Structure 1
Amino acid sequence: MSFFAKQTIVAQPGFNRWLVPPAALSVHLCIGQAYAFSVFNEPLSRAVGIGAATPEDWKLTTLGWIFSLAIVFLGLSAAVGGKWLEKVGPRLTMFVAACCFGGGFWVAALGVQLHEIGLLYLGYGVLGGIGLGLGYVSPVSTLIKWFPDRRGMATGMAIMGFGGGAMIGAPLAVWLMTHFKSATSVGVAETFMTMGSLYFLSMTIGALAIRIPPPDWRPPGWTPPTVRHKMITDKHVHIDQALKTPQFYLLWLVLCLNVTAGIGVLGQASVMIQEMFKGRVDAAAAAGFVGLLSLFNMVGRFFWSSASDYLGRKQTYFVFFAIGALLYGTVPTSGGAGNLPLFVVLYALIMSMYGGGFATIPAYLADIFGTMYVGGIHGRLLTAWSTAGVLGPVLVNYLREYQIGQGVAKGDAYNVTMYIMAGILVLGFIANLAIRPVHEKHHMKHDEFEELDGVYPADDH
């Protein structure tokens, strides 16, 4: 186990910090496949009937819980594993993530083969979700420590990979399912086995390549600014003390509301665009739409988090909530008018800010609570993502079913949901408005610093 020990991966003098982002991307580009899971929903809904769904096949509402469970366990594992990450380091955490995520695909493949929905819930939902959570938080605090001069850009480099995972995962899954499809199989089980193996290999390579900076390390030629913005602290808050501050819960709401507004739609993006533009968008084009959303999700993560280094985190979230609410309110109009290009543009912009919210939150946490325990605090905050992972899909899926049951056309069944999402973003705007600097009573004193691996953590301010 010494190979995985935190002391083993401390970088030697002269190490190039730009080698760390590729290691982070090799993990995040894999686990970002979760955003492409919707391409499996339609084939899984006819896993028994093959050519057409039968009464024995799973319904979309049943399948929707696979994605929701994965997001729930992402948040739970990140909350529990965040503090463990700070203790054991990113290499061991990333390797465990690789085992869980890759292994989750293999268990899910068995579930498809046996037609046992419980195994899909266990495999992709529970094991895969644990892999998602541990893989998500592992590189983030490491990158913040390597790039104290560009926190937003650093988190954007890592988390943009998660947003871009579907850009690779969606077309790869469609191609593999087409390749493995036969008269007796829709090709999903074989695709799960293949993708699980590929993702395990890529994530393991990232785990082997990751390094952490030595104590007191700073970028050559960089000195901490002597004048700090009032929303950027030069103190540290302990991971357990952070839970006693109102700022933690306001930031929890900010993330939860921002994610709820986008994740339900994203989880059903493939089905939604086919139903809203029936006859104009087929399954292949819908997969392309999911890939396009993934591209904007990915680019938005890097663009908006980098921009937050100049705009400030609070101001950046104001942009997300205010403009996002307007965009969601315009979606039903574009769908009703049959304006497919406008619909695509609206969702591309929405997804850029949705992804930007994910990438900006770790830097926001570092600004508010300091950098010493940002990985663990970030992990606990991701329970907001778990909550949103249930709320968003439930709003979209069950409101859709209810309205269709009331005689509403499938293409119009998403309109009310879009207006609800706009209202949710308005609530997020209010929560962000209430955020203030942490009171000094919560700051760690010098004699309270915990000794880690024989040295005291450096104050990178």
Structure 2
Amino acid sequence: MSTETNQSGFFSKERITAPPGFNRWMIPPAALAVHLCIGQAYAFSVFNGPMTRLIGIQQPAPEDWGLPALGWIFSLAILFLGLSAAFAGKWLEDVGPRKAMFVAACCFGGGFIVSSVGISTHQLWLLYLGYGVLGGIGLGIGYVSPVSTLIKWFPDKRGMATGMAIMGFGGGAFIASPMSVALMEHFRTPDSLGVAQTFLVMGVLYFASMMIGACAIRIPAPDWKPEGWTPPATQKAMISRNHVHIDQALKTPQFWLLWWALTLNVTAGIGVLGQASVMIQESFRGAITPAAAAGFVGLLSLANMLGRFFWSSTSDYLGRKVTYGIFFVLGAVLYFLVPGMGASGNVALFVLFYAIIISMYGGGFSTIPAYLADLFGTRYVGGIHGRLLTAWAAAGVLGPVLVNYIRQYQVDHGVPPGQSYTVTMYLMAGLLVVGFICNLLVRPVASHHHMAAEADAAPLGAGLAHQMAHQK
């Protein structure tokens, strides 16, 4: 009895298997409903200032939290994003995207609510637990949960499909930032900055939106193919028809070459994103106002978002390996040229070069799921992608450390602030050269890593067969 209930339950794979004639274009909006929510992480910094004045209101009081302490909230969220994506990946493939998206909604929305209680009671540990741990788990599971589903629905446009969803993560801040400011202003009183109420409302809204995505998500039936599309008659060298188990994938050199390729690409971009405002003001001292620097940050966010769709869609035509090769070659050249633009006072080229660099940073995230599907097949791509995202956590530490500490070392030794990024940019160019070599070494996965065809079909096929027998 319990087996039958599990087979036909609301969260089961069988329950969300699409009927014949289902419109696959209903799936990207379901994925976006999740990614536009969790993309709020890029806008978390709007809360940092107000949370240093929760007691003092106008000015920080002695009892208020400092920025270093608050900085751990976001760091914990990114840490648990990587950990949850890595450890929940295999579970996600077993239970299906609806249950995973439901858990993500509970964790992410619940993290905001727990944090709201922490702000109201002025207990910082509750923010660490709420947004940092629970919210981070929701970020990780929510990030990977629609990916393998999209790839299975769009075998003919893998890059474009994942780009549409992951673009939402890059664009979530455009919704979250003004919404957060507007809500805090709405709830503001002489005795409160409205932060706790804002967290509560956002938690409820994000849970509801992510649940809409969870209810709308569907998976294709076994052996489903888009109408009018047939797989290539001959297997392409870098696109496998076979599948690799998630545990076996970690034993292949391809996984670790891509891990390093993603780490180096993200390291080069994330360090710039964290210091963009200060960097452009110091590079063009006196010529760039704080308002103009904020505009530069906004432009980079837009490049990050659009690059996720553009580059992943382009990879459908160029191939993933060629696209990643462009990231590393073009990125290295631009990083090498950027210091000269600062020295010559050429603001326009400085901004253009960094916009292209950050577009490739975003493109690296959106292209990697399709790259993994090409190499390891689609059966466990969500879980493999989750484990590869530990590269994001590593780069999230490495990038800012390289930019911030090298800059500070040079300033401490008499280098003018405007010239203190030169060595860092050359170092980033060097890292991208190493990334190019890693990508160049990627080859098709050896056949002894492949799963047997029966093993691949068994999990879902057996469940459907059981359900059909029960209905008869």
Compute the TM-score of the two structures, normalised by the length of structure 1: 0.89
Q: Alignment partner for residue 155 of structure 2, among 137, 148, 151? A: 148
5 Å-filtered alignment, 1:194-209, equals 194-209=201-216
Matched, 1:431 2:421: no
Query: Structure 1 pair 311/267, CA: closer, same or farther in 2 (3 Å)?
Result: same
Partner of 1:455: 462
| Alignment-derived partner of residue 298 in structure 1 | 305
- Greater mean deviation of Cα atoms: 175-184 or 355-364: 175-184
Give, in whole Å, the separation in 1 of the partners of 2:225 and 2:170.
29
| Seq. identity, % | 70
Contact 1:104 1:196 in 2 (8 A): yes
Q: What code does the residue aligned with 1:4 have?
A: F
Change (3 A) 1:438 1:12: same
Aligned to 2:106: 99
Instruction: Please provide the CA RMSD for this pair.
Output: 2.8
Give a deviation string over 1:371-399, Cα, whole Å, max 9, x none: 11111111111111121222223334445
CA displacement, residues 19-57 of structure 1 (integer Å, 9 cap, x when unaligned): 110011111111112122233334444555544456665
- Name the structure 2 match of 1:169: 176
Distance change in 2, residues 1:193/1:417 (3 Å): farther
Q: 1:145 to 1:179 in 2, by over 3 A?
A: same
Ranges in structure 1 where 5+ consecutive residues have no aligned partner: none
CA 1:129 to 1:286, structure 2 compared with 1: closer, same or farther past 3 Å? farther
Quote the residue 2:365 is aligned against.
358
Matches within 5 A, 1:129-140: 129-140=136-147
State whether structure 2 residue 220 is matched by structure 1 residue 213. yes
Contact 2:243 2:379 in 1 (8 A): yes
Q: Which region of structure 1 is more displaced relative to structure 2, 30-39 or 168-177?
A: 168-177
Q: Is the 8 A contact 1:72 1:385 kept in 2?
A: no
Moved more, 362-371 or 272-281: 272-281
* Cα distance in 2 between the residues matched to 1:361 and 1:123: 29
Q: Which amino acid aligns with 1:199?
A: Y
Contact 2:14 2:463 in 1 (8 A): no
Asked whether the equivalents of residues 263 and 392 of structure 1 are also in contact (C-alpha less than 8 Å), the reply is yes
Structure 2, unpaired ranges of 5+: 1-5, 465-472
Shift of 1:300: 1.0
Q: Aligned with 2:451: secondary structure?
A: coil
Aligned residue identity for 1:247:
Q
What amino acid does structure 1 have at the position aligned with 2:204?
A: S
Corresponding residue to 1:318 among 325, 329, 340? 325
* CA–CA separation in structure 2 for the residues paired with 1:377 and 1:171: 35
Instruction: Give 1:127's match in structure 2, choosing from 134, 139, 144.
Output: 134
In 2, Cα distance between equivalents of 1:147 and 1:74: 26
- 1:141 positional shift: 0.4
Q: Distance in 2 between matches of 1:10 and 1:187?
A: 43
Q: Does 1:368 align with 2:375?
A: yes
Q: Which amino acid aligns with 2:442?
A: I
| Cα shift at 1:186 | 4.5
Who is 2:356 aligned against? Answer: 349
C-alpha separation in 2, matches of 1:246 and 1:384 = 15
Relative to structure 2, which stretch is displaced further, 196-205 or 209-218? 196-205
Would you say the 8 A contact 1:70–1:125 is kept in 2?
yes
Aligned partner of residue 30 in structure 1, secondary structure:
helix
CA shift for structure 1 position 113: 4.0
Equivalent pair of 1:170/1:287 in contact (CA under 8 Å) = no
1:14 corresponding residue in structure 2? 21
Does residue 1:378 correspond to 2:385, yes or no? yes
Q: Structure 1: how far apart are the matches of 2:77 and 2:52?
A: 19
Provide the C-alpha distance between the structure 2 equivalents of 1:359 and 1:227, rounded to a whole number of angstroms. 26
What's the offset of the Cα at 1:183? 4.7
Inter-partner Cα distance in structure 2 for 1:51 and 1:406: 37
Q: Secondary structure at the residue paired with 2:459?
A: coil
1:108: which partner in 2? 115
Judge which range, 88-97 or 38-47, deviates more: 38-47
Structure 2 counterpart of 1:254: 261
The equivalent of 1:86 in structure 2 is 93
* Deviation of the 1:259 alpha carbon: 1.2
Give the stretch that moved more between structures: 282-291 or 215-224. 282-291
How many residues are treated as equivalent by the alignment?
Answer: 457
**Letter of the 2:91 counterpart:** W
CA contact (8 A) 2:81 2:139 kept: yes
DSSP-derived class of the 2:361 partner: helix
Match of 1:421 in 2: 428
Does the 8 Å CA contact 1:259/1:388 hold for their aligned counterparts? yes
Q: CA deviation at 1:348?
A: 1.8
Q: 1:10 to 1:440 in 2, by over 3 A?
A: same
Deviation string 1:260-280 (CA, Å, 9 cap, x unpaired) is: 222233245456556666777
Cα 1:317–1:333 shift into 2, 3 Å: same
Counterpart residue type for residue 390 of structure 2 = T
C-alpha distance in 2 between matches for 1:223 and 1:285: 51
Q: How does 1:324-335 map to 2 (within 5 A)?
A: 324-335=331-342
SS in 1 for 2:248: helix
- Offset at 1:289? 4.0
Structure 2: distance between partners of 1:42 and 1:185: 14
Give the one of 242, 247, 252 matched to 1:240.
Answer: 247
